[in-house]
Amino acid sequence: MIELDDEQRRARDWFEALRDRICAAFEALEREAGSDAAFDYTPWRREDPDGAPGGGGVRGLMRGAVFEKVGVNVSTVGGRFSPEFAATIHGAGEDPRFFATGISLVAHMANPHVPAVHMNTRFLVTTRRWFGGGADLNPPLPYEEDTADFHARLRAACAAHDQTWYERFRKWADDYFYLPHRGVHRGVGGIFYDHLEGPFEETFAFTHDVGEALLDIFPKLVRRRMDTPFTEADTARQREWRGRYAEFNLLYDRGTLFGLRTGGNVDAILMSLPPLATWS
C-alpha cells in the first residue's frame, strides 16, 4: 500500500466516488432498456520494478443492451519512472518518483445513433503537482444537436472557473484527438487539458466539475438516441469509425502510453478498444 498525503487521498476518493455514480447511472440506462446488465469489477495490484508496493486499481466493465462495451476504471499508483520515460514527464526529469490517481471512461454503444464517449481526469505528482484530462464525444453518425449540447455543458463547466478555458481547452482537444496519418479527427471534440497547476482547491474544483459535466450530459444524449431504429449500413459505419478510434488509442493516446510504461494493468489500459471494428 502506498502512503498518500491529504491532496492525493482527496483526489483518489473523488475519482472512486465518481466511478460509482457513473456506473449506477449507466446501469439505470440498461434497466430502462429492459436489460439486467451490471458492471463487473476486477481489482488489480501493481508492483514497482524495485519490488516496492506500487498501488493498483479497479477495472469496471459492462456489456449490455445499451452499452455494447463500457469500461470505467480508477487507478492509484506510485513508484519510479524509468530514466528515459522520466525525461518526457512534467517535473520528473530531476526526480523519477511519481504518484498518479485518476478515472478513465470509454463507452462503446450498441446503437450506432448513440455517440460513444471518452472521459479521463487525473492528478499527477512528480516534483510538480497538476491535474489533467478532458472529455470528448465520438459519434459514428453525428447529430448537430448532440454535439451542441455536449459542448455547451463543457463550456459551462469551464466558464465557472475561467472564461478563457473553454476555447483554449476545446482547441487543445481538436489538436489532440486527431489522426494525422488519415487527416481526420476521431470525433466531434470536447475539451482536453494537462499540466493544470495552481492552488489545489481551484484545480481540483475544476476537475470535479468536468466529471460532473460528463455525468450530467451523457445519459441525456443516450436517452435521446438509444431507441432510434438503425440499419446494417449504420452498423457498418459504426464499425469502420471504431477502427479509427482504435488507431488513435494505440498510436497516439497519452494515457495508453503512460499506463503501459508504468506497469499498469494491461486489460484496464486497453479496455478503451471497441468490441467490434472493421477496416475496409
CA angle 226, 232, 238 (to 5 degrees): 60
Catalytic residue among 90, 108, 113, 118: 118
Cα–Cα distance for residue pair 66/26, rounded to 1 Å: 9
Residue 175: pLDDT band by 50, 70, 90 thresholds? Answer: very high
| 118 is known as an active-site residue | yes
- Give, as one character, the DSSP assignment of residue 87: T
Give the three cell numbers for residue 222.
Answer: 443516450
pLDDT tens by residue, 107-135 = 999 999 999 999 999 999 999 999 999 99
Count the Cβ atoms, other than its own, within 10 Å of residue 55: 22
Asked whether residue 103 is domain-assigned, the answer is: yes
Average pLDDT over residues 48-66: 82
Tell me how many domains the chain contains: 1
Mean residue pLDDT of the chain comes to 93
Structural domain including 71 reads 6-272
Asked whether residue 261 is domain-assigned, the answer is: yes
Asked whether residue 115 is domain-assigned, the answer is: yes
Asked whether residue 35 is domain-assigned, the answer is: yes
Asked whether residue 280 is domain-assigned, the answer is: no
Asked whether residue 22 is domain-assigned, the answer is: yes
Report the predicted TM-score, pTM, of the whole model to 2 decimal places.
0.94
Cα–Cα distance for residue pair 130/220, rounded to 1 Å: 31
pLDDT at 48: 65
Instruction: Measure the CA dihedral 25/28/29/35, to 10°.
Output: 140
Phi, psi dihedrals of residue 260, rounded to the nearest 5°? -70, -35
How many residues does this entry show for the chain? 280
CATH number reported for the structural domain that contains residue 68 in this entry? 3.40.1500.10
pLDDT at 50: 59
Asked whether residue 40 is domain-assigned, the answer is: yes
Contact status, residue 118 vs residue 105, Cβ threshold 8 Å: yes
pLDDT at 205: 98
Cα–Cα distance for residue pair 133/176, rounded to 1 Å: 12
Residue from 78, 81, 79, 59 nearest 70 by CA? 59
Residue 53: pLDDT band by 50, 70, 90 thresholds? Answer: low
Asked whether residue 279 is domain-assigned, the answer is: no
